[in-house]
Chain A
Amino acid sequence: MRSLTLFAAAAVAIALPAAAHHGWSSYDESKPLTIAGSFTQLSWGNPHGTAKMQWQGKVWDVILAPTGRMEARGLTQADVAPGKKIGLTGYARRDGTAEMRIERIRVNGKTVELR
């Protein structure tokens, strides 16, 4: 039984202290940011699209949605290609890292929800 206890303790010790680094709760939803601008880089890929954008003197990592979801809601890769004028509403990381998760995109007269 001693070895069982040891194994269980080891498993719990390894498994438990894993928390908080970059998930949903690490973005501050109480302070939505509304930004106009354009991406400097775009990666239209899974598990979710990512982009880079210059804003307030910093280069931001921008987290989009899975490509299938964005396309199903009518957003195309061409809509948000680097250089295209877009409007974003998103949330910045609480820890001050220049990274934001996008809630919705306004482009070409349409508004697309990403969540």
Chain B
Amino acid sequence: MEPLLLTVAGWFDAAGIGPWARGSGIVYPVANSLHLLGLVMLVGGIGVVDLRVAGLWRSIPVAPLSHALTPVAIIGLALMLASGAILFAADGRTLAASPVFHRKLVLIALALANAAAFRWLWRDAIGGWDGRVPVAARAMALASIALWLAAGTMGRWIAYS
């Protein structure tokens, strides 16, 4: 994974994003704060839907809850991708060599695959889930929470490894 990440880091530097992110006193801390806001929106949005699908709060209908909160999570994800690219651009060489960052990327890929599979499998069924939710869907919801929290933990871990 390291050679690929070094290539991406080189591209960010050539495009001027790396020097911009490193050179300013304010860009990095602002991107860091937005990255955290994105995580709050992502986990706070989809995590609540996941917990409902997994079996909590059965008096709340699944479909409107998902309809309200999934866009919050997607905006959070977009915010994390944009701010994450800036954070990576500032420190690309170090991150390219960080095994913790590699694990974080793998976890994000798994979480995205899980989310895409969930949508593909259950999009049409979700409206009828006010009573029973299939065990496989509940498992995927719990996996979603576990994967996003693990990815967030790895993100925090980069600085201490």
Q: Residues of A with Cβ closer than 8 Å to B?
A: 1, 3-4, 7-8, 10-12, 14-15, 18-25, 43-47, 66-68, 71
Q: Given A1-B135, A18-B157, A24-B160, are A10 and B90 neighbors across the interface (CB < 8 Å)?
A: no
Q: Is the CB of A3 within 8 A of B150?
A: no
Q: Total A-B pairs in contact (CB under 8 Å)?
A: 85
Interface string of B11-33 (1 = CB under 8 A from A): 00000000001111111110000
B2 within 8 A of A: no
How far, in whole Å, are A4 and B24 apart by their CA atoms in the complex? 45
How far, in whole Å, are A43 and B23 apart by their CA atoms in the complex? 9
Q: Is the CB of A45 within 8 A of B139?
A: no
Contact of A7 among B29, B100, B103, B143 (CB under 8 A): B143
B56 within 8 A of A: no
Residues in B108-150 with C-beta less than 8 Å from chain A = 110, 114, 135-136, 138-140, 142-143, 146-147, 150
Q: In the complex, which residue of chain A has the Cβ closest to the Cβ of B28?
A: A46
How far, in whole Å, are A11 and B104 apart by their CA atoms in the complex? 11
Interface string of B24-54 (1 = CB under 8 A from A): 1111110000000000000000000000000
Q: Is the CB of A14 within 8 A of B139?
A: no
With A8-B142, A15-B154 given, can you name 4 additional A-B contacts, CB distance below 8 Å? A4-B142, A14-B103, A15-B103, A46-B27
List the A side residues contacting B25 at CB < 8 Å: 46, 66-68, 71
CB of B36 to closest CB in A, whole Å:
14
How far, in whole Å, are A22 and B139 apart by their CA atoms in the complex? 36
CB of B43 to closest CB in A, whole Å:
14
